[in-house]
Structure 1
Amino acid sequence: MDEKVKLVDATLEKTIKPEDVKKRLIILASITVVVFVVLISRLWFMQVIGGQKYVELAEGNYVRVVPIDAPRGVIYDRNGNVLVNNRPSIGVALSPQMVEKHPEIIPRLSKILGIPVSKIEEKLTERKADPLKPRVIMMDVGDQALAYIEEHNMELPGVDVVTESIRAYPYGTLGAHILGYLGEISEEEMKSLKGSGDYMLGDIVGKTGVENVYEGLLRGQKGNQQLEVNAVGRPLGVIKTQDPIPGHNLMLTIDLSIQQVAEQALEEAIESARNQPKDKTKADGAAAVVIDPQNGEILAMASYPTYNPEIFVGGISKENWKQLIDKKNNYPLNNRAVMAFPPGSTFKPVTLIGAMADGLVGRGEKFVCTGKWTGLGKKWAKFCWDHSGHGKVGLSRAIAESCDTVFYILGHRFYKQTKERLQYWSRIFGFGVQTGVDLPTEMKGRIPDKEWKKWFNRNNGVDYQRWYPG
């Protein structure tokens, strides 16, 4: 007869005390409560403390904030004539981010706009703005190209039609050195303008002229537009718009009609000088300033050669920039009216007034100009511009006809004083210091005296450090 096998669970034979079960339940309950508290705390933090942050992160997936540049202030002459204003321009912008995903866009956009691929690549790489910010490739785009882009917008990811306010110059090159031009902000300018406005890389600022000096007034305050975008970043609609605040207008002391006459006269004078048969050197630059003697206001300021600030609108091309800085073109960007040059015969009134004040010449004194002055010896003869000579000449005629011989004599009398009185009178008339005109890059010039010559020739012999007549 088979024996039945009895299976017994050994755990049942153990004696389990009620106290042990209670302890285990307490531990399990404690762990459950702690985990529950941690989860509730985290949920509360995400919804209450960090709620706004996560809302912003969520919105960032479909909302794009686009800054809106403020229209710059209008610049007028003293009579209210517009010298610089703004005009709307429709252009095409391209997103660098989308180009990385769709490089085929560049050659296609090149055909649509009729510009070389290199031009588009240059625009994409030259600006130091936010890499997500679309780059304006071309302004004043034709209707046919705009219509094509609108019709095929789904085939052109990253390509947008934009409307911008750009600078307009009704009189072209007129007053270019006074007005100045605009350009993209540099890193150095970002540092210097920090705290003085909402500047960011890629912004357009005044580079020269009053556009630069009065940048803070002309600039205005940016606005912005919140756009709803799809997965590829294309705008679907406008959520919210904050309008920009236009910049302040600016009225100059310049008189448009006088400025026109001054620039025309300067250009004609250059042509006349170049056509002089006796001239061994060709005139390549000049400047003219017209000042109201009653109050010192500048009515006109001209510099030659000049340029058209219109070429900087939308970003200057490499070809145009190369021409502007080419030595063969004599650097048309230079404003010669605020640079330092030897004054030549325009200094003669200072010499005459100083000589009369110091008693070096009498009002009725007469001089004889033969066209050649040998007061320092025949070996060191000095010539008058009129080699035939002016004959017997007084002070009034000496100034009127710019007789060099008379001023050689007066200059020699100053030299024999040994007190540097000519330098003194130069400083009295404001030479050697800045005028304080509200234009950038003004130079103060130099009044050469004994100390300057000694310093200038410090590496040369003592003979080079001394003053000699003539």
Structure 2
Amino acid sequence: MSNIPETGRTPRVQIRLVIIQVLVVSLLLTLGGRLWYLQIRNGDEYTNEAKNNHVQQVVQPAVRGSILDARGVPLADNETRLVVSASRTELLKMKDDGKGVLTRLAGVLGMKPKDVMDKVRLCDSQTPQPCWNGSPYQPIPVTDEATTQQALQIRERAEDFPGITAEPTAVRRYAAPGKANTAQVLGYLSPVTDEEIEKAKDTDSPFLRSDQVGRSGIERTYDKALRGKAGVTRYEVDNLGRVIGEAERDEARAGANLVTSIDARVQAVAEYELHHAMKEARKGFDRNTDENYKADAGAVVVMENKTGRIISMASQPTYDPNAWVGGISAKDYARLTGKKSNFPLLNRAIQGQAAPGSIFKVISSTAAVNAGYEFDGNYPCPSSYSVGGQVFKNFESKGYGSISLGRALEVSCDTVYYGLAHREWLKDGGMKPKKKTDDWFYKTAHQFGLGKETGIDLPNEVTGRVPDRQWKQRFWEANKVGWCKQGKKNGTYVERIAYEGCLEGNLMRAGDSVNYSIGQGDTLVTPIQMATIYAAIANGGTLYDPTIGKAIISADGKTVEPIKPKAHGKLPMDRKTRNQIDKALAGVTTVGSAAWRFGGWPQDKIPMHAKTGTAEVYGKQTTSWFVSYTRDYTIIMTIAQGGTGSGASGPAVRKIYEAMYGLDEEGNQDLKKALLPKPQQGLPKIGTDGTIDSPSIRPYQPRKPKPADEQVLAVAPARRD
């Protein structure tokens, strides 16, 4: 038994106990502080994160609004189809990245395995179409044309098709009522991209990964209104993914309907007549190139004079916008974008640029009057005009003696405008221009609205070009080095042009000015620009923004948002000049360059005004232009490499008017057969249940020409304009 007293151990034990107590208290304080930090200070943040970890979202896509014509006929709406989709997220979890599943799916759908796999791959700069340019986390449509039997096979053998769904889905449909395709006006849809989702996330209209968005046409311009708002249901799930309750629900809101000013009946007529005019033009022989005209592209616009509303707009070549629904195939994509396609996705009414030829002369006539020349004065119209050793001729070297500007418009005399433009060029200093030049001919073109957009409610409108002194300087600075390398004083035509450009390409030469005065040279316009100008002449001088949208109406028809006409300027002419030009343009169809195309027209009942144009293009055949107006409408048609204005485009424009006004070949009117004798008033009715009061429409049946008419056309003289 030890004799050591107990009191010898007590201090050490007590010290140890104290240390342990301090450690325990410190740990408790640390844990308590951390618990306060997590639950009190950042409690809400972590609570939300915890909830999100146990919440799954189910998206109900919004039904996209319909696009209607002015009478309520659907141009674009929705139909229910069986859509088969694949989840990349699920497929990539498989050892073979889902190749086996997609191969089996191809067998059920009657498709090639490669085609199915191409559809679900993601788009990038190295991947050609078809591919998926939407979010990789949303189901990717493989086909929207599955049969009921195919859908049942997929759903009944779900174990063989993991990650594959087959569901009835509302799919966009471009109805083409009465064969009115309206492709370039309507546009098409494609899936939203991650970049677009990120960009829009803090706006009042964020995207969901399931959204489809408009990529061109009015589908793009009015996308926000048409798209509506998708519904989202949030479910609480446990750690095994089982639903334990519904957390929150945001109801889907259907997109609004867009009523347009397009009349599907007139659209069908315009599309047919443009296509037919191009076919007929290809039968014509071009003596300048010793081959038939190619007539490879064209456009037509029908516009209301007093509002700027577009009744019809067509472009050739065209395409079927339904090709984009559910994802475009490789074959269709190549056909629409390949080098041999001639780019049918282009809307040539707003994106096709060409020299205007003689339809530009209303601008030159106004410029001359504003520069101080009398409209009714006498101006020489010789067969040719010489400038600096170069001879500029009238078509077929025909002269008319001394004539007024009005008569010059009627017979489309070039040399009158050559002389006026040359005199103004000399007044501005010629090759040694004054510090402050008047430049009446160029200034007036800008005042007419050329060189900038018209403001039409379609994306990607181009500006055209007014080749004034400022443009020439910029163009010369950008091309001088290349011209100087290529140019040769005694070389080919192109080499001589390059040589001259190198030396003085920034200077306004006399030849530039006289050529410009008749709509040639470097001048570029679009059909919509010239339609806007001629509609302004018809309505007294107001330049309207062309518009296709007429009203946005909610899905239940209760809310109507009109899209009112908007003016952007006035023509730079007084009433007297406008009336004089108006009279001259009426003379074009009675005693001028278009008279041979308008024999029998009821001029006393429906006064017709027109201007013909044939624009020369280096290296190509001539561009045909025909622009016209009545009290109510302006119609313009152009055909690239189509020949003369009155020869190629004139007859088609007349037939469009005849269909709208209900006229026969002799000019007799039957209002029962008239499609649109006056502009459409009012809006179609949409019921609270979403039903649309929509009239039926029949395909356009063109009238067969009489044999006598065909004989007259066959012997009609060839003309420039």
- TM-score by structure 1 length? 0.83
Native 8 Å contact 1:183 1:312 kept in 2? yes
Q: Which has the higher contact order (CA 8 A, sep 6+)?
A: 2
Structure possessing the higher radius of gyration over alpha carbons: 1
Q: Report the equivalent of 1:134.
A: 139
Q: Report the equivalent of 1:355.
A: 368
Task: List per-residue Cα deviations over 1:355-400 (Å, max 9, x = no partner).
Answer: 355454653758767xx5355599624241xx38586787666545
Find the partner of 2:115 among 115, 119, 124.
119
Q: Report the equivalent of 1:77.
A: 69
Find the partner of 2:79 among 66, 87, 90.
87
Q: Report the equivalent of 2:694.
A: none
1:97 aligns with 2:89: yes
Total equivalences in the alignment: 454
- 1:426-465 equivalences under 5 Å are 426-458=445-477, 459=480, 460-464=501-505, 465=507
SS of 1:79's partner is coil
The whole-number CA distance in structure 2 between the counterparts of 1:272 and 1:390 is 30
The whole-number CA distance in structure 2 between the counterparts of 1:234 and 1:134 is 21
309-318 or 184-193: which moved more? 184-193
Native 8 Å contact 1:351 1:407 kept in 2? no
Structure 1 residues 207 and 27, CA gap change in structure 2 (3 angstroms)? same
SS of 1:328's partner is coil
Question: Which amino acid is 2:319 matched to?
Answer: Y
Q: Report the equivalent of 2:125.
A: none
Question: Which amino acid is 1:163 matched to?
Answer: P
Find the partner of 1:211 among 219, 230, 237.
219
Task: List per-residue Cα deviations over 1:114-159 (Å, max 9, x = no partner).
Answer: 2122222222222355544332222131111111112111332212
1:107 aligns with 2:119: no
Find the partner of 1:422 among 423, 441, 460.
441
Find the partner of 1:156 among 149, 154, 161.
161
Question: Which amino acid is 2:218 matched to?
Answer: V
Structure 1 residues 192 and 99, CA gap change in structure 2 (3 angstroms)? closer
The alpha carbon displacement at 1:318 in A equals 2.3
Structure 1 residues 118 and 382, CA gap change in structure 2 (3 angstroms)? same
SS of 1:448's partner is coil
26-35 or 344-353: which moved more? 26-35
The whole-number CA distance in structure 1 between the counterparts of 2:375 and 2:13 is 128
How large is the RMSD of aligned CA atoms in angstroms?
A: 3.6
Structure 1 residues 234 and 274, CA gap change in structure 2 (3 angstroms)? farther
Find the partner of 1:409 among 402, 411, 416.
416
1:282 aligns with 2:289: no
138-147 or 238-247: which moved more? 238-247
SS of 1:299's partner is strand
- TM-score by structure 2 length? 0.56
Q: Report the equivalent of 1:220.
A: 228
117-126 or 27-36: which moved more? 27-36
32-41 or 253-262: which moved more? 32-41
Q: Report the equivalent of 1:343.
A: 356
Q: Report the equivalent of 1:373.
A: 384
SS of 1:83's partner is strand
The whole-number CA distance in structure 2 between the counterparts of 1:321 and 1:444 is 28
Structure 1, unmatched stretches of 5+, are 1-7
Native 8 Å contact 2:106 2:116 kept in 1? yes
Find the partner of 2:184 among 177, 183, 200.
177
Native 8 Å contact 2:65 2:256 kept in 1? yes
The alpha carbon displacement at 1:47 in A equals 7.4
Question: Which amino acid is 1:212 matched to?
Answer: R
Native 8 Å contact 2:85 2:166 kept in 1? yes
Structure 1 residues 297 and 101, CA gap change in structure 2 (3 angstroms)? closer
Native 8 Å contact 2:197 2:206 kept in 1? no
Task: List per-residue Cα deviations over 1:156-203 (Å, max 9, x = no partner).
Answer: 221222333221111166221111111233466456545332225564
Q: Report the equivalent of 2:345.
A: 333
Structure 1 residues 328 and 233, CA gap change in structure 2 (3 angstroms)? farther
Find the partner of 1:254 among 257, 262, 281.
262
Structure 1 residues 308 and 234, CA gap change in structure 2 (3 angstroms)? farther
